[in-house]
Amino acid sequence: MTLGTATAESDLLTRLRAGDEKAFEALVAGMYGTMLTVARTYVKDRAVAEEVVQETWLGVINGLDRFEGRSSLKTWILSILVNQAKTRGTREARTVPFASLAHEDDAPAVDPERFRGPNEPYTGGWRAFPANWKAADQLAQDRETIRVAMRAIAELPLTQQTVIRMRDVEGYSAEEVCATLDVSEANQRVLLHRARSRVRSALERHIDG
């Protein structure tokens, strides 16, 4: 965690512990999508997952004064969520661990022919970039492009969606994802690659028209 991030988190914690409703509402709004996605990998349906998210926030409110900062605030919140989800999953007769779900969708994320072969320069790299890629900062400011990316993420298998949301939307490190979801570094890397490839394909179709 960088100094700036640590300072921002310390300020946020102070506001939350002081009962700042706006700070709490902003945190809930920012994490809701990722929390719901994580919960749905452990329970059967969306309604139960939403209950898990609500129960998690109650746990967060009750435990804020005991939070010691050994992990980031968001990682701590997700650890509470995963424990709640596992408990509900057992109650709902779904006890399949996240790591085993990582193999549910082993189809290639994109056509393997789009990558450079073992005898080519930059083995494993993309053969070609989309014809109309703009500068990264321009794309980031394009609201429709953002909508396309988020829609593509929402359509991913739940395990891929969970990992890409945590890594690329919420900014968790690979280590934090592995620890929170109890998944190996190799599985995390594969899931993230597949998710990013599918989102990239959706962006290509959007940008190239």
Q: What is the DSSP letter of 19?
A: T
Is 0.75 topped by the overall pTM? no
Domains of the chain: 3-91 (1.10.1740.10), 98-208 (1.10.10.10)
* pLDDT attached to residue 5: 73
Distance CA 52, CA 56 (A): 6
The percent helix, strand, coil of the chain (3-state, each to 5) is 70, 0, 30
Who wins on pLDDT, 187 or 117?
187
29-84 per-position pLDDT tens digit: 999 999 999 999 888 889 999 999 999 999 999 999 999 888 899 999 999 999 99
The pLDDT of 129-145, averaged and rounded, is: 59
Residues 114-136 have a mean pLDDT of: 59
Strand, coil or helix: 114:
helix
